[in-house]
C-alpha cells in the first residue's frame, strides 16, 4: 500500500511531462530537431547566396546565361523570402542561420534601392519613353508626355505613321525637336549639332544632339534604342546584336567632346547586365543615384525589369521616378539633373 501510494503521484506527473506539447518543445531544442532539420534548405540558401555574389562569373558563352540572370537579379530576393518561410515552417535553425548569407548579399547589392534618395535643386528635367510602334493611341501618349512638364523628352520606337501625331501634339510645348530614324528628341531648350549615331545596325536607332541651358551650359544628349533581346529554348538569351550596339554606343559617348553627357533610351538591358558595361562603366544611373525603389519600366502591365535608362556623365542626378502608364508596353522614366 505504501509503495502504491508513493508511485501514484509520479504516474500522475508523467503524462504532463511527456505529453504532446512538452514533446514538441523538447524536439525543437534537441539537435535532431532544430539543427538536423532543414539541411536541404540550408544548402539551397548557401547556393543562392553564392549565385548572387558571383553572378558576374556565370559565363555568357552558352545562351548568354549570365546576362539573363543579371537582368532579373533583384527578384532573387523573393527566393530569400521563400526559403525563410520554409525554414520557419520547418522549424530549422540550421536553415535560418544559412539564410543570413543570401540575405546579406542581396542587401549589399540592392539595399540602397529600398530608400528614397531624391534631392532638390535639379535644373533640368528629362524623360525617356519607348512609345511602342504599335501604340493604339499615340495622341494620348503624346499628351501624357507633355503633361510631365519635362524640359527634354526622348522618344523611341517612333513608327512612321505615328510620327506626325507626336510632332503635332508636342509642338506647342517643345519648340525644338529632331528625329533620326525611329528615335526623336523634343526640347524646351535650344538643340544643336543633331546627328545620327551609328550603333552597327544598318539603320538609325540612335542620335546625338547638344542642349544649351539658359545659363549657357551645354550637355550632349544621346537617345538610343538598342536591339531587342529574346529568350528562346533553343538559343537561350539572344542578345549578341544588342551587345554589339552597346559597344558602339559606349565608344561614341567616350569620344564625345563635351564633358557633360546625358543618355536617354531603351537599352533592352539593366544596369546589372555585364554586356552593357561599355556604357554603364562610364555613366551613372539616375535611378540608382537619386531614385526611390527599383523603378522597373517593362512590361508596363507588370514591370519586372528596368530596361529603359537615364544615365549621366559629368552631371549630378538629383531625383528619378517612374511616370504613369501611357498605353505603351513600357513605362516612361523621368529624372531631374544638374547641368
Residue whose cell numbers read 549657357 = 216
Please check the confidence at residue 12 and state whether its pLDDT lies above 60: no
Is it the case that residue 11 has pLDDT exceeding 60? no
pLDDT of residue 6: 44
Q: What is the pLDDT of residue 192?
A: 98
pLDDT of res. 161: 96
Decide which of 3.40.50.1370, 3.60.10.10, 3.40.50.300, 3.40.50.1100 is the CATH code for 124-337.
3.60.10.10
14 pLDDT band, cuts 50/70/90, is very low
What pLDDT is recorded for position 220? 98
Q: Can you give the pTM of this predicted structure?
A: 0.85
> Tens digits of per-residue pLDDT, 130-174?
999 999 999 999 999 999 999 999 999 999 999 999 999 999 999
Check: CB of residue 265 under 8 Å from CB of residue 306: no
Residue 25: pLDDT band by 50, 70, 90 thresholds?
Answer: low
Query: E strands of the chain, at which residues?
Result: 124-130, 152-156, 176-180, 183-187, 191-196, 206-212, 218-225, 230-232, 236-238, 261-266, 284-285, 308-313, 317-322, 333-337
DSSP assignment letter at 227: P
Beta bridge partners, 253, equal none
For residue 61, pLDDT beyond 90: no
Residue 299 in grid coordinates:
512590361
Closest among 286, 206, 284, 195 to 244, alpha carbons compared: 206
In the chain, residues under CATH classification 3.60.10.10 are: 124-337
What's the pLDDT at 26? Answer: 54
Amino acid at each position: 500500500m505504501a509503495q502504491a501510494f508513493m508511485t501514484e503521484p509520479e504516474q500522475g506527473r508523467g503524462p504532463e511531462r511527456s505529453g504532446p506539447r512538452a514533446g514538441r518543445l523538447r524536439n525543437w531544442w534537441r539537435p535532431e530537431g532544430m539543427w538536423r532539420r532543414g539541411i536541404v534548405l540550408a544548402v539551397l540558401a548557401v547556393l543562392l547566396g553564392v549565385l548572387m555574389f558571383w553572378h558576374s562569373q556565370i559565363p555568357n558563352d552558352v545562351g548568354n546565361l549570365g546576362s539573363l540572370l543579371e537582368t532579373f537579379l533583384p527578384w532573387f530576393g523573393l527566393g530569400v523570402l521563400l526559403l525563410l518561410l520554409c525554414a520557419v515552417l520547418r522549424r530549422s535553425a540550421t536553415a535560418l542561420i544559412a539564410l543570413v548569407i543570401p540575405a546579406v548579399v542581396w542587401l549589399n547589392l540592392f539595399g540602397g534601392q529600398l530608400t528614397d534618395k531624391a534631392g532638390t535643386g535639379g535644373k533640368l528635367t528629362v524623360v525617356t519613353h519607348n512609345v511602342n510602334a504599335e501604340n493604339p493611341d499615340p495622341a494620348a501618349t503624346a499628351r501624357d508626355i507633355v503633361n510631365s512638364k519635362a524640359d527634354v523628352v526622348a522618344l523611341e520606337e517612333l513608327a512612321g505613321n505615328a510620327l506626325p501625331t507626336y510632332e503635332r501634339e508636342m509642338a506647342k510645348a517643345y519648340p525644338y525637336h529632331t528625329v533620326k530614324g525611329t528615335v526623336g528628341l523634343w526640347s524646351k531648350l535650344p538643340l544643336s549639332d543633331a546627328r545620327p549615331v551609328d550603333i552597327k545596325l544598318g539603320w538609325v536607332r540612335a542620335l546625338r544632339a547638344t542642349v544649351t541651358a539658359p545659363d549657357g551650359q551645354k550637355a550632349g544628349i544621346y537617345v538610343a534604342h538598342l536591339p531587342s533581346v529574346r529568350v528562346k529554348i533553343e538559343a537561350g538569351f539572344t542578345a549578341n546584336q544588342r551587345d554589339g550596339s552597346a559597344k558602339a554606343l559606349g565608344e561614341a559617348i567616350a569620344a564625345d567632346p563635351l564633358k557633360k553627357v546625358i543618355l536617354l533610351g531603351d537599352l533592352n538591358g539593366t544596369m546589372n547586365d555585364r554586356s552593357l558595361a561599355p556604357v554603364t562603366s562610364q555613366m551613372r544611373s539616375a535611378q540608382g543615384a537619386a531614385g526611390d525603389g527599383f523603378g522597373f519600366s517593362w512590361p508596363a502591365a507588370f514591370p519586372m525589369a528596368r530596361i529603359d535608362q537615364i544615365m549621366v556623365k559629368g552631371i549630378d542626378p538629383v531625383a528619378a521616378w517612374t511616370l504613369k502608364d501611357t498605353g505603351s508596353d513600357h513605362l516612361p522614366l523621368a529624372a531631374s539633373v544638374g547641368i
